[in-house]
Amino acid sequence: MKVIKVFKNLVLQIGVLLPNPHHQNYKRLYLDHQEKYSVLAAKYLAGQTNPAEEQELFAWTDANADNQKLFEEWTETWTLTEAASYSPFEADLGAAWAKVDAAISKGNPLSNRPQAQKIVRLSNSLRRWSVAAAVLFAVAAATWWFKRQPLQPQLVEIQTFAKEKKQVTLPDSSHVWLNENSKLAYDPRFEKRHVSLEGEAFFEVERLVERPFEIVSGNATTTVLGTSFNVRAYAEEEKIEVTVKTGKVALASNKAKTSPVFLTPGETGVFDKKIEKVEVAVAEEENADAWKTQQLRYDDEKMAKVIASLERYFDVEIEVSNPALLECPYTSNFEQPNLDEILTVIGSTIGFEFSKTNGRYLLTGKGCF
């Protein structure tokens, strides 16, 4: 019988597994539920219930969500303890149960308190099922206790795939917009405002002076109090970029012992993965968050920068047959951008035509009307 195997092995280990019996949560766990249903649960999981007992047990589990949740935890615990049923220690089962029966008759074997004078004796069958239920409670309590230790928290992970974007609200009411092929992870307790990012995201962070907000991307850490900014940190790219829209941001290397770089609105910080170095970009990246706003804006920008932003936004390659095209200035705004339409408009403005082969674009013409 499975419950006997579990009990036999647990007798040797119960002193290690049980949490403090006076712990408030453990007392609540035990007192909130009747022994009657723990006995029925133990019998059911061992396959020893009759139809009437099963009907009573499931009427109890269906009564409310708390009962259902507890029964699910018992079932999970029963499954988890399957591995514990093996032990190189072999004992005389009859003698073992005799000792258990004797211990029950004399009082709680885990306590030295005097036994009450009046003892109500249980039948051998009910006594054994009560012990089984108690063991099930003990294992459930130990499992519950260890699962809730803060050493190995279950992280919340939000991931996007190709052509997918998501908006996320964090426990501190900060907002995050994830670009495609990105992943955000954080501790659900959020005692420290700390997240990890792979890919690209735009952050609007709630200002809490006493609790800075940190984003770890590979070997770079971005630290803020309250601001909005874009972080681009794709694993396959050689650099991590942080572009500030409002507020102030500190970007630093996790390994190199150097001072962080402080960024203000309009500035972009770049972390070079190869040399572990952070610096402020020479040219501002005005369209860093275009993937979120669905807008591309150019104000007297050279075509070299326009082309770079188009390649980044549309994830394509654009080449020019005439390098002089790269020096042509351009000014315009595009909402809900479409690459073919944009190139048609710009080409008619500064003088070039474009062709597309295998997803690559080629711009030809003298340029700069």
What confidence tens digit (pLDDT) does each residue in 12-55 have? 343 333 444 444 444 444 444 446 777 777 777 777 778 788 78
Query: Domain range for residue 258?
Result: 156-280
The predicted structure's pLDDT at residue 332: 94
CATH number of domain containing 244: 2.60.120.1440
11/96 same-domain check: yes
Residues 117 and 182 in one domain: no
**Residues of the chain with confidence (pLDDT) below 50:** 1-34, 82-93, 96-97, 100, 103-105, 107-122
Q: Does residue 290 sit in helix, strand or coil?
A: helix
Asked if 242 and 126 sit in the same domain, the reply is no
Position 40 scores a pLDDT of 77
CB-CB contact of 280 with 263 (8 Å): yes
Instruction: Report if residue 303 sits inside a domain.
Output: yes
Same domain, 194 and 303: no
Do 143 and 162 fall within a single domain?
no
The pLDDT value recorded for residue 142 is 59
pLDDT tens digit string along 244-254?
999 999 999 98
- Our measurement of the distance from residue 241's CA atom to the centroid of its chain's CA atoms, rounded to an integer in Å, reads 23
Residue 289 in any domain: the answer is no
List Cβ neighbours of 184 (8 Å cut-off, separation of 6 or more): 157, 158, 159, 168, 176, 178, 195, 196, 197, 201
**Same domain for 48 and 133:** yes
Each residue's pLDDT tens digit, 161-187: 998 999 999 999 999 999 999 999 999
Which pLDDT score is estimated for 32? 47
In a domain, 40, yes or no: yes
Give the number of domains in the chain: 3
CATH number of the domain to which 349 belongs: 3.55.50.30
The answer to whether residue 287 sits within a structural domain is no
Asked if the structure places residue 285 within a domain, the reply is: no
Q: Is residue 224 part of a domain?
A: yes
CA distance 337 to 163: 15
Regarding whether 186 and 253 lie in a shared domain, the answer is yes
288 within some domain: no
Q: Does 63 map to a domain? A: yes
Residues 21 and 95 in one domain: yes
Kindly report the pTM of this predicted structure.
Answer: 0.57
Do 313 and 287 form a contact (C-beta atoms < 8 A)? Answer: yes
Shared domain for 320 and 217, answered yes or no, is no
Same domain, 176 and 133: no
What is the DSSP secondary-structure string of 43-102? HHHTT---HHHHHHHHHHHTT-HHHHHHHHHHHHHHHHTTGGG--S----HHHHHHHHHH
Of the residues 280, 309, 331, which one is the last residue of a structural domain?
Answer: 280
Residue pair 130/36 in contact by the 8 Å Cβ criterion: no
At residue 135, the pLDDT reads 58
130 and 175, same domain (yes or no): no
State the pLDDT at residue 48: 79
Same-domain check for residues 141 and 161: no
